[in-house]
Structure 1
């Protein structure tokens, strides 16, 4: 008995390991296809739900689908209402695992047959190049998963006649509620509803529980998955927290509907036309799991806009708008994290350039110190988030990560220049500098409304070249005027400092814009011509 118990627990552990390997391998194989499907298929809640179901079935992970979706919302590529459809659909996609387990794992004894498959997959993962490496990991995971199921089944056989339906709460309203809670707790412990469903199927196979008891457990497991998501979103960005809360409320509502269905389904199984369900309770269980998730999605799709407003009311915006969507949950998906970080960087840049651009138009209206402090804090927060993203060497994602870190450096330098109020005022009020000061201010103010970052970068590049050449001419000219006693020497240093302020500020604006262009177009930033001629700060 003790040996069989250990075997059952080991089988469950192998199942969890196999699921993790399978998910990681499929996720690596899906790559950008996962993101492409999600981004292009969310015009309506129905399309979003379909995309969510398909992508979750592809990678066997609702969390991977949800994190990618949160990244799109955080990056402004998808509205929260569109994201809800994906979150709803992900629930349907997770039921595919139950079908695999019931049809392949319990109808066929594949444990021994799949041993060579595990070896083949492991060898591919160790020695083959991508994408075969990812395929090998998924293949090995597939094998380990079903080996785990075989061990779980064999271990559960020992409980036949010892653990019976009477060992669980009675089939009453209170008893079913206790089973729902038990299912939720088991899912929180294992961090996998699929493992819980597999365990319920194994217990059902040996007669340890009845179908209504197994159905109540599965309802609880469906609800239990939301607690994992909620924990993952604690302390995260607004988009992450809203997604976690919407997942929780949706699954609770779906669970209530499923719980109400237990009585009519139990009645149906006692009727002559329900004999098929009673004869194969495992298939009936996974069918019930799929059915109530479909039912929940169908019920909420028509009120998605109202549902999204409810969630936004429950989880209002907090913190600075520049970085409120940088949730740590996104770090599990580097591409999604970089999308969100890029969007936050755009917002920080727009905030700084808008205020500094206004200051160049009206130097008497200084940038408030609290605004600069908020921009500084947002820059540090975004930089910390970007540095925490794990990217592979030589990938486009790592190039984007490095570009963002460069941008934060230029933002800090530009923010520092925004505090040099006397130079700003001179750059606009001095007749010899005014024209270029106003041009730079107009360019900065246009950033927030500019939709074509390549065009903005081109304009910034032309302006900084002009400012560089102008500064050398201006310096020589002012020194000549002082030497010829045509200008008082007292203001010479301020004038030259202001000209240098314009040139260096234009340079930072160009570098920020060009790096953002490189990220958006997946190209390398333009080389910094004459970099040695540029003086250091």
Structure 2
């Protein structure tokens, strides 16, 4: 008996490994397709629900779909209500695992082909190219899923007649609540509602539990999966925490609704006694109450979103609020979040520069604001450094290279903003004051305008202007130095100031250049040599 229990647990482990490898393989094969589909077809909560359900059913992973949606919200590519549609739909997509397991794992005998598939997948993984290795990983995962089901079926069959529905809470109000608690516990242990559903299907097939008991347990498994979401979003970005709370509220509401559907559904099945297979009836119930839940909640998505936003306030500084450690599992989503934080920091830096150039004497508020910008630069740098390493030819890698360029120029620009003496000396020189005002206007425009090829070209022209003015001013002030009898320290400070203006304009140009490539997904380009 103990050996059968151990074998059943091993079967559950094989199933979980199969799910993990299948998902990893499919995600690798999908590449940018998932992101393109979610961004292209998610225009409303309804289209988001359909897209989320389809993507999750294909990838066999609601977390992959949800993390991508969170990244889009953080980057401003999707609104929170649109992302809610994806999250709702992902709940429907996860029920596809139960259908596949029931039809292919329990109704068809795939035991004889699973081991050959594992061998083929392993060979492809070991000796194939990049794409063939991913196919091998997915194929091995697919085979392990059904091998695990086969092991669970054979192990639990030993309990037939020994463990019966009488050993579990009965189909009463209190019994149903206890069964829901058992379902929650199973999901907390396995960290997968799909594994719990498969275990319930295997126990149902072995006669260890009856259909009403299995349905109550499945409700608990659907609610229990929210614990994984909560753990994954603790300490995360504002978008992630709102997503986690949305998942908890929605699944709990759906679970309450499913609880009240138990009695009418059981009565309906009783009327069709003998005509509907119990395992089919169980997965139909699982999909059914999730579909009904989405249909009920979709008309109220905007109100639901407002409630969640009210409950989860944005506690971040505003510059790095898009960053969250939960996104590091998905490099493309993490890159989107980093770009959002970089955009906010670049805009803040440009606004600060415009203000400081217009008011050369710094205030305590100026220093506080500059410290916030410096802190944001450090936070973004740590986050980008934590993004997992990628292949050199991965499109995400090219965007990360541009992100590092932006961070480098931001750090240099931040340092120049601390050189108060060079900014202050401009006020006493007519020519420097005029150049200062030109740069201040350019900074203010850059903070308000969307970065395009045209804005980059405009900043490049300003950079050329300041380069020429640097040389002209240097020649002018040195040629008049003796006649004007100016102190040597003041002359040096003015020369430093004009060089400061030129270098700031250069950093602003390079930031515009790399931010445009970040948003367009273009590879970073080396700057032309600076004369």
TM-score range normalised by the length of the shorter chain: over 0.9
Contact 2:38 2:48 in 1 (8 A): yes
Q: CA deviation at 1:196?
A: 0.4
Please tell me whether the aligned partners of residues 399 and 523 of structure 2 are also in contact (alpha carbons under 8 angstroms): no
Correspondent of 2:381 among 376, 380, 383: 383
Quick check: 191-200 or 364-373, which moved more?
364-373
Matches within 5 A, 1:205-216: 205-216=205-216
Whether the aligned pair in 2 keeps the contact of 1:453 and 1:516 (CA below 8 Å) is no
Question: How far 1:474 sits from its partner (Å)?
Answer: 1.7
- 5+ residue gaps, structure 1: none
Q: Which moved more, 1:190-199 or 1:387-396?
A: 387-396
Pairs within 5 Å for 1:514-525: 514-525=513-524
Match 1:290 to one of 287, 301, 314: 287
Equivalent residue for 2:318? Answer: 321
Aligned to 1:372: 370
Could you tell me how far apart the structure 1 residues matched to 2:487 and 2:7 are? 92
CA distance, structure 2, for counterparts of residue 100 and residue 54 of structure 1: 14
SS of residue paired to 1:108: coil
Q: How does 1:74-85 map to 2 (within 5 A)?
A: 74-85=74-85
What is the RMSD computed on CA atoms of the aligned residues? Answer: 1.5
Question: How far apart are the structure 2 equivalents of 1:517 and 1:46?
Answer: 32
Partners in 2 of 1:318 and 1:454 — Cα distance? 34
Note if contact 1:361-1:428 (Cα within 8 Å) is conserved in structure 2: no
| 1:403 Cα offset (Å) | 2.2
1:405-424 aligned within 5 A: 405-424=404-423
Match of 2:275, SS state, is helix
User: Under a length normalisation based on structure 2, what TM-score does the superposition of the two structures give?
Assistant: 0.97
- 2-structure distance, mates of 1:529, 1:484: 38
The 5-angstrom pairing of residues 157-168 of structure 1 reads: 157-168=157-168
Instruction: Give the structure 1 partner of residue 147 of structure 2.
Output: 147
Partner of 1:304: 301
Q: TM-score, normalised by structure 1?
A: 0.96
Cα 1:525/1:9, change in 2 over 3 Å: closer
**Match in the other structure for 1:341:** 338
Q: Identify the match of residue 350 of structure 2 among 331, 348, 353.
A: 353
Partner of 1:40: 40
**Residues 1:508 and 1:428: Cα distance change in structure 2 (over 3 Å):** farther
Task: State the match for 2:480 in structure 1.
Answer: 481
Secondary structure of the 1:158 match is helix
Report if the CA contact (8 A) 1:428-1:438 is conserved. no
Gaps of 5+ in 2: none
Offset at residue 299 of structure 1 (A): 0.5
Q: 5 Å matches for 1:116-131?
A: 116-131=116-131
How many residues align? The count is 529
Residue 274 (structure 1) shift: 4.5
Deviation at 1:186, TM superposition (A): 0.8
SS in 1 for 2:134: helix
User: In terms of mean alpha carbon deviation, does 309-318 or 490-499 score higher?
Assistant: 490-499
Q: Classify the secondary structure of the residue corresponding to 1:270.
A: helix
Contact 1:30-1:58 within 8 A present in 2 as well: no
Matched position secondary structure for 2:112 = coil
Determine the C-alpha separation between the residues in 2 that align with 1:444 and 1:246. Answer: 39
The 3-state SS of whatever aligns with 1:326 is coil
Say whether the 8 Å CA contact 2:25–2:134 is kept in structure 1: yes
Deviations 1:331-356 (A, max 9, x none): 11100100110011010110111011
